[in-house]
Amino acid sequence: MPWPHSTEAPPLARGHLRQDVSQNLAPYTTLGIGGPAADFLVVHGRTSLAHQLARAQELGLETRVLGGGSNLVVADEGVASSVVLMRTRGIRFQAESGSVLAEVEAGESWDEFVRQTVERGYRGLECLSGIPGTVGATPIQNVGAYGQEVAQTIESVTVMDPTDGSLTTLSNEACEFSYRSSIFKGKGSALGIVVSVTFRLEEDPRPTIAFKELEAALSDIAEPTLADARRAVVALRRKKSMVYDVSDPNHRSCGSFFTNPVLPAAAFERLQRKHTTVPHFPLPDGTFKVPAAWLIEKSGLTRGTRLGPVGLSTAHTLAIVAHDGASAKDVVRFAHVVRRQVEETFDVRLRPEPEFWGFAELEDGLPVLPDGQEP
């Protein structure tokens, strides 16, 4: 299933050819599951995007944007929407005093963009190496890893109004970034379609090392470079099956399926009284971030745990893997099993990280299963 991170679309969807028949979305997601879209088009430029948005309005369809499909669960029945596969390209660097602005089109490969910034000696994104998907998706959930998140470097986000094709640029502050979230998350196309993201990076060859695991990986290098940090991050991610590789038996996943819960001080103290060894990260606002992977493992669900054709990755407890024959319902059912197990053990409710398309109802971010299908 090479498509999610290749540069070529499958033959039926190549170029600007509109599909009059329903287009199955499974090949466009890293999970490899999901039904058809009511309308589907590959977009290579802003003009074709505006035309497709107008057409979707004429058809009375909501527009949904698909990038790398690496953070998405599509219902087996598909989605009654116009789906735009964003394949716009373009990276423009502009030097300023002590910093560089990089304006990037939404359809650019995220990791390819990060690679270019590292090669040019621009600091700010090196710890986000190896993350699959496209640039346009990163502000939506404030992508982060190994001590960095895009909110730290995003200068602005430009969006297209789905009703008239006009463009609006939102400042970093207007994006309302928070942990794995932003003003865009959960809003679909209501706030506009992300067409480009502008980052402000530092002209500095020294990497940001603010994560203990990364610090340990670089401990043998006296003065690590941005390239050293990128190599170390990719190696760490690969070890956890968090780099999309079709030869990896864990590759059919969304990466981290649950976010790390952030607990108020009182809730964390209750948890710590019962489980004194719980790892945690104090945050400036007095809350505490707890690793979801630790909660899952300590609840009794170890790596490789399976329920039919779906299970936890054998390399990382936080990833849910779809094996041969898996359906979207199977994935959702297993996610409910994980969440319930953690909640019963720790009185902490996990929230999912992926988007869910085509499901009738969500509860705390997770699709509600029909009566009789609860695990």
Is residue 340 pLDDT above 60, yes or no?
A: yes
Looking at domain 91-239, does it have CATH number 3.40.50.300? Answer: no
| Identified catalytic residue from 46, 115, 180, 339 | 180
Whole-model pTM: value is: 0.91
Per-residue pLDDT of 134-179, as tens digits, reads: 999 999 999 999 999 999 999 999 999 999 999 999 999 999 999 9
Is residue 9 pLDDT above 80, yes or no?
A: no
Question: What are the Cα distances from residue 33, in Å, to 27, 280, 302?
Answer: 7, 34, 24
Specify the amino acid at residue 356.
F
**First-to-last CA distance in the chain?**
29
What is the pLDDT at residue 372?
57
**What's the pLDDT band for 7 if we cut at 50, 70, 90?**
very low
Per-residue pLDDT of 86-105, as tens digits, reads: 999 999 999 998 899 999 99
**What's the pLDDT band for 5 if we cut at 50, 70, 90?**
very low
Domains 91-239 and 253-367 share a fold: no
256 is catalytic: yes
What is the pLDDT at residue 98?
84
What is the pLDDT at residue 166?
96
Is residue 310 pLDDT above 60, yes or no?
A: yes
Per-residue pLDDT of 53-69, as tens digits, reads: 999 999 999 999 999 99
Is residue 77 pLDDT above 90, yes or no?
A: yes
**Closest Cα partner for 144 from 174, 186, 114, 103?**
114
CA dist 235 and 241 (Å) reads: 10
CA within 13 Å, CB half, 337: 20
181 is catalytic: no
What is the pLDDT at residue 10?
36
Is residue 19 pLDDT above 50, yes or no?
A: no
* Neighbouring C-beta atoms of residue 241, cutoff 10 Å: 20
Kind of pairing, strands 355-357 and 72-74?
parallel
List the single range of 96-100, 254-258, 348-352 with lowest mean pLDDT.
96-100
CA dist 66 and 80 (Å) reads: 14
Is residue 18 pLDDT above 50, yes or no?
A: no
The domain spans of the chain are: 3-86, 91-239, 253-367
Name residues whose C-beta falls within 8 Å of residue 66's C-beta, 6 or more positions apart in sequence: 25, 28, 72, 83, 84, 85, 86
| Identified catalytic residue from 108, 126, 149, 353 | 353
Question: What are the Cα distances from residue 212, in Å, to 218, 262, 275?
Answer: 10, 19, 22
What is the pLDDT at residue 1?
29
22 is catalytic: no
Q: Choose which CATH entry (3.30.1960.10, 3.90.78.10, 3.40.50.800, 3.10.20.740) describes domain 253-367.
A: 3.90.78.10
| Phi, psi dihedrals of residue 135, rounded to the nearest 5° | -60, -40
Is residue 113 pLDDT above 70, yes or no?
A: yes
Mean of pLDDT values over 11-15 = 35
| Identified catalytic residue from 81, 82, 129, 256 | 256
Mean of pLDDT values over 253-278 = 96
Is 4 or 282 the better-scoring residue by pLDDT? 282
Averaged pLDDT score across all residues of the chain: 92
> What CATH number is given for 3-86 in this structure?
3.30.43.10
Is residue 12 pLDDT above 90, yes or no?
A: no
Under 8 Å between Cβ of 31 and 55: no
**Share of residues in the chain with pLDDT > 90 (%):** 89
What is the pLDDT at residue 121?
97
What is the pLDDT at residue 17?
39
CA dist 264 and 261 (Å) reads: 10
What would the two tokens of residue 28 be?
């466009």
- DSSP letter assigned to residue 22: P
**What's the pLDDT band for 191 if we cut at 50, 70, 90?**
confident
**What's the pLDDT band for 205 if we cut at 50, 70, 90?**
very high
CA dist 114 and 229 (Å) reads: 12
